[in-house]
Amino acid sequence: MGKNFVTVLASVLLSGLTAFGIVKAATPDQSGGQAVYDGQGGVVRTVNLSLSDYPDFTYAAENAVEAVVFVKVTIQYQKQYQMADPFFRFFFGDEGQPERQGSGSGVIIRPDGYIVTNNHVVQNASKIEVTLNNNKTYEASVIGTDPATDVALLKIEAEGLPTLNFADSDKLRLGEWVLAIGSPMGEELRSTITAGIVSAKGRSMPNYKGEFKIESFIQTDAAVNPGNSGGALVNKAGELVGINTAIVSTTGSYTGYSFAVPSNIVSKIVTDLIDFGSVKRARLGVTMSPVTEKIAKDAGLSSLYGVYINEVSRGGSADKAGVKTGDVLVKVDSVDIKTPSDLQVAVNRFHPGDRTTLTVMRDGREHVLPVEFQGTAEATGTVSEDGSVAFYGARIGQTGKGVEIISAGSGKVAAAGGEDGFVIRFVNDQKVSKPQDVIDIAKKARRTIVIEGVTATGRQGYFAFGKDE
């Protein structure tokens, strides 16, 4: 029993000495550094800690906040009547178009008034007002939108505005500090700044509507709430690395996760909208899926990175390049492709007509294939080899009859009733004489595009479609 007591006492003393070493490790040495001990009184190393070792966001916050704006939108909608009887409306009147208000945020990217925000912030807006951090308010117009990336570009008539420069979002690292700046919950909390880290990259979210989306979100734990949409995600240098777009929540408010469109995607979209008035999106022409263990084994891959090609569209960019069903695509140019989201982002950086290389694995061997990208049917304004111009899924051209629909295609024009051989005379009540007139007027339309002209059989006709539907 005495022996056991001695053993227990020795254990207690050893634990006490170890604890003493741990406590002592929390005391600074004479140089002001942090001494790290080995638990037996010996110094292992000294770590110098000071306030400079902690992230300082003051420069980034104070500069970036000046370029983030509050966006207020007005949306008009038709009153839905329970009684469609015209006599009811005659006696009780027509209530007209009640208004609904919404709000979000935006980021000034050029001193002459160009502002980037989310498409869902300004979609269907009849009026848009932008308030700067200095409290000045301007009416804004929509230069263009891209629902596939949820990006929109606004313009206000102003000069000498503060701006944010685009950073290379590909260089963001997991765990890197970022700031979210915007107007959560409306104007009362305008210019709110929150901090967090990059939690993940290349995130996508379920798309229940089946719409074409390009998603490779930056996920952060910086607090973002309704009203932050369209605001800035910036790095410690005060550069724009993303546009805050969405949260995942069961309550409608922030629950720890927020998502931003990377600046590299945003930069390409807004440059296209400024230069061309529409997004010039390259198209590869494949359907794809993630690589499984079986696919990796059959293809001779050493990892599960890459995308499996399920189908190749006949006559598309990939088909002409020599890509085959069953290939595993692992690179576009020199960029490694690990997931389907990576491939979407990589292709999105190119314009129709651009050339690069695709690297695929086939039968255990690597093949490098040259490719020239074609455009999507929605790439309005793209000119093809025969001189016709893309127009919302159709192709229009100059003929002896005037501006004619060469091919109605399968996009918005065809869905609205446009047919091959239709001669376009007016767009939104403005007379047109060449395809570029049609494109220019359509770009300026806020909501609806109305086409008037003559059908192939010589009858007067018209059709209309929503610009951002």
Q: Cβ distance 273 to 143 under 8 Å? A: yes
Dist CA 75 CA 438 (whole Å): 26
Q: Which of 299, 317, 320 is nearest to 308 (CA)?
A: 299
End-to-end CA distance of the chain: 86
| Close Cβ partners of 392 (under 8 Å, ≥ 6 residues apart) | 378, 380, 411, 412, 413, 442, 449, 465
Dist CA 391 CA 382 (whole Å): 8
Q: Which of 221, 226, 223, 267 is nearest to 243 (CA)?
A: 267
Point out the residues that are catalytic. Answer: 120, 150, 229
What the block records as the tokens of 332 is 């576009």
Question: What does the DSSP 8-state code read for residue 383?
Answer: B
Q: Cβ distance 439 to 467 under 8 Å? A: no
What the block records as the tokens of 315 is 């006559």
Chain center to CA of 358: 24
What the block records as the tokens of 310 is 């399920």
